[in-house]
Amino acid sequence: MGEHSRVALYLEPATHHFLRDRLFDSNFAGHAGDQILAPYTYLKEFLTARGIAVRTADYFPAKPDGKLNIYITLGNFSRYRELASRPDAVLSAAIPLECPTVEPSMYREVREAQHLFRRVYSWSDSQSLEPYAGGPIRCLPMRWPQSFDSVHENVWSRTDRGFMVMLNGNKLPRYRTPGRELYSERMR
């Protein structure tokens, strides 16, 4: 445990709403359902039990503190440049969580940031992301943990279904190319 206590992990949430360690509070985003923050809570508990501090990136030390500070962003790219030159910071992974049709600027930033991060993960492949990024992105496949392992029985057992639609978010695309995005159609 002594060696691990010299390592800390800092996660940059996709949005400021999850700073101040709210990302690890599985009850914080209760409105989103299905314990959406449970994987982060589990990660923090798992690593903390092994002597590795886990915090959101707003707690990244202002100056080197003798630890190896691992930094991962979940799509917010506001902090990585200032950390890139620090000897105590390891820009470990960039994981853009938003869809490129909703947030194309995120993928343009990934194209630049990939040169400073050790790895970039994506739910898509480089070729599919190129129109949004403005060039190739070297990316590894992302496998995202789910916080539930069963269906909602009260919904699943209903038989009075006609047509079913699932809306995961009320988002409007910023990048519209006919035939390449379905957010507009969802809203229609």
3-state secondary structure of 72: strand
Q: Could you give the angle at which helices 104-113 and 126-133 cross, rounded to 10 degrees?
A: 110
pTM: 0.83
Rounded Cα distance between 25 and 16, Å, is 14
CB half-sphere exposure, 95, CA atoms < 13 A = 16
The per-residue pLDDT for range 61-113, each reduced to its tens digit, is 999 999 999 999 999 999 999 999 999 999 999 999 888 888 888 999 999 99
The per-residue pLDDT for range 1-12, each reduced to its tens digit, is 455 589 999 999
Decide if 75 contacts 97 (C-beta within 8 A): yes
- The H or E element spanning position 94 is strand 89-94
